[in-house]
Structures are given as C-alpha cells and as structure tokens.
Amino acid sequence: MALEYSENMRLAQETLLNIKRAILMLQEWNEGVKSTDEWLSSTYGMQKLAGNAMMIEVIGEEVKKVEKRLGMEFLNQRPEIPWREVMGMRNHIAHGYFDINELYVFSVIKNDLAPLLDAIDYLISVIDTLKIEKEVDEGCGK
C-alpha cells in the first residue's frame, strides 16, 4: 500500500490521537472495576456506565472518520481489529438508547481496549513515518 503524507493523513492522525485519549480515559475510569455490579448498584455507577458508553460511541465515530479519510485499507493494516464492529458498536449505542448491554460494554473495556490501543499506536506511527519522509523529501528539494 503506497501512501503519501497528505492533509487527510494529518486530520486522520488527529482523529487517531482522539481515539487514543478516549481509550486511555476508559482504562483509567475502569481500572478497579471487577464486574458490572459496580455500575448497576448505584446512581454513580450508572453514570459511570453511561460515560463509558459515550466514550465507546466516540471511539466508533472517530474510527468512521479515519475510514472516511483514508479508507478501510489503511485501517486493515491491523486486521486483528474488527473495525466494522467498532463502528457498529457506536451505532448500537447511539441508537439503542436504553438497550445498552452492560456485559458487552464491560467486555469491550476489559478485553478489547488494549489491542485497539496497540493498533491505534501503530497507525499513528505509520502516519508519523510518512510525515517524516515528506519533510525529508521537501528538505532535499524533491
């Protein structure tokens, strides 16, 4: 896949950084959470569940933006991530209203965020490399 650094790349990288911040936030918020009972047993816990769902929705929306700017081929450099499912989770939360499955949210937070963060870091590094190559080419008068 031959890529050149572009404005779409720059904007996609900003979006990837937003995803990374959301993942780190979710990990921090839920570091000590052992089960969904911790969310369901209090008003504060329910607010935390709603915040978690919102951040997962944001991640899905931001992945859609990256896909729109750079295409699925770019995301599929990390094929172990089910990118369509990440985007689909956003749709389910955004349109499911009171039909959010707390067990699924818990599973995503506990099992899927670390591999997603690794993939996002990798994609950010791909864009960083292209940016450096562009700067070198421009410095050499190409």
Q: What is the pLDDT of residue 3?
A: 63
Tell me: pLDDT of 124 over 80.
Answer: yes
Task: Please state the rounded mean pLDDT for residues 19-31.
Answer: 97
Cβ pair 15, 6 in contact under 8 A:
no
% residues pLDDT > 70 (the chain): 89
Report which of residues 57 and 4 the model is more confident about: 57
Residue 13: in which H helix or E strand, if any? helix 7-29
pTM: 0.88
Between CA 27 and CA 117 the distance in angstroms is 10
Domain ranges of the chain: 7-133
Neighbours of 54 (CB within 10 A): 13
Phi, psi (rounded to 5 degrees) for 79: -70, -15
Between CA 99 and CA 93 the distance in angstroms is 8
In order of 11, 21, 59, 102, the CA distances from 17 in angstroms are: 10, 6, 11, 26
CB burial class (10 A; 0-12, 13-18, 19+) of residue 19?
A: buried
pLDDT in tens, 33-91: 999 999 999 999 999 999 999 999 999 999 999 999 999 999 999 999 999 999 988 77
